[in-house]
Structure 1
């Protein structure tokens, strides 16, 4: 785990953005297209911890961005070049533009100041989207990554953040993947090499500290 001083520096609200990854009803909600992933996200507490982080970010003045994956009803612009995309086309619940499936799932709070960034293609919540430009305009130095899945989208977000020059911070108990025991192994053997791995409680402790006047 990072030292308190380093985490405090990395999580300065003035230069930190919290990213929720695919925490949408059609992915982690009760009518998920991926019920196994939704079940793990909820039973592990990852979704509830993401909600706590978002609420704390709102209180601390940390910018929140919600990354949502969606597709047009006609599929135009969507990828077809991997097994994952072809399987998604056959799922009974589709992440269709404008549908309830692409709304942020409970219990995650969404404030008026949050930004929701939708993508029609690819695996990454960052590459090929507006996220990088938004982060730079916010003066972001550290990106806190939460959500699903630890199999694909979360590591993509972390790698992209690092490649773009941001410090990636991952509260390991606020991400989920399948099977459930894959996530800690992936964090330990992959994300820990490139990101600051921490916990929800440690992030909350930093954001709830009294602020010195600037």
Structure 2
């Protein structure tokens, strides 16, 4: 884990954005299309930790972006060039635009100032979406990536952010994938090579530090 001073320097609220990845009801909710992943996200505490990060971001003036994956009912524009996409078409719960499946899942709270970016194609929350131009307009330098899954969307987001010049922080206990043992191995052997890996508690400590300093009695 990085030294507290180094992490605090990276997590300046003015230049930090929190990106939640596919934390939507149809993915991590009780009626998920991917029940094994939904169960792991809740059992591991990852979803609860995402909610804690979002709450802290709201309190500390850190911009939150929720990245949602969805598809049109007619499937227009959706990828069909990989097994994952073809399998998704046959799932009993579809991530259809405008349905409850593509709403941000509890216990995560969406504030009025949050941005919600929806994509109809691909594997990445960043490539080919509005996320990158939004980050640049927000003056983002550090992107905190949390959510699901550690198998596909989260590493895609991390790689794409790094390729675009952002520094990435990954709260290791705020992402989930399947099987459960895959996530720590992927973090250790892949994400740790390109991102700063910390815990949710460490990230919260850095975000909340400036707020505590502001409200400390004279």
Q: How far did residue 5 of structure 1 move?
A: 1.2
TM-score (norm 2): 0.97
User: Per the alignment, in what secondary structure is the counterpart of residue 41 of structure 1?
Assistant: helix
User: Per the alignment, in what secondary structure is the counterpart of residue 209 of structure 1?
Assistant: helix
User: Per the alignment, in what secondary structure is the counterpart of residue 180 of structure 1?
Assistant: coil
List aligned pairs for 1:1-214, cutoff 5 A: 1-211=1-211
User: Per the alignment, in what secondary structure is the counterpart of residue 209 of structure 2?
Assistant: coil
Deviations 1:99-138 (A, max 9, x none): 0000000000100000000000000000000000000000
What is the rounded CA distance, in whole Å, between the counterparts of 2:208 and 2:122 in structure 1?
36
What is the rounded CA distance, in whole Å, between the counterparts of 2:36 and 2:191 in structure 1?
23
User: Per the alignment, in what secondary structure is the counterpart of residue 85 of structure 1?
Assistant: helix
Q: How far did residue 62 of structure 1 move?
A: 0.2
What is the rounded CA distance, in whole Å, between the counterparts of 1:105 and 1:95 in structure 2?
13
Deviations 1:144-203 (A, max 9, x none): 000000000000000000000000100000000000010000000000000000000000
Deviations 1:17-52 (A, max 9, x none): 000000000000000000000000000000000000
User: Per the alignment, in what secondary structure is the counterpart of residue 129 of structure 2?
Assistant: coil
Q: Would you say how many aligned residue pairs link Structure 1 and Structure 2?
A: 213
What is the rounded CA distance, in whole Å, between the counterparts of 2:131 and 2:171 in structure 1?
20
Q: How far did residue 3 of structure 1 move?
A: 1.1
Kindly report structure 1 stretches of 4+ aligned residues shifted beyond 2 Å.
210-213
What is the rounded CA distance, in whole Å, between the counterparts of 2:137 and 2:210 in structure 1?
26
TM-score (norm 1): 0.98
What is the rounded CA distance, in whole Å, between the counterparts of 2:210 and 2:194 in structure 1?
29
Q: How far did residue 210 of structure 1 move?
A: 3.2
Unaligned runs of 5+ in 1: none
Unaligned runs of 5+ in 2: none
What is the rounded CA distance, in whole Å, between the counterparts of 2:35 and 2:210 in structure 1?
40
Cα root mean square deviation, aligned: 0.8
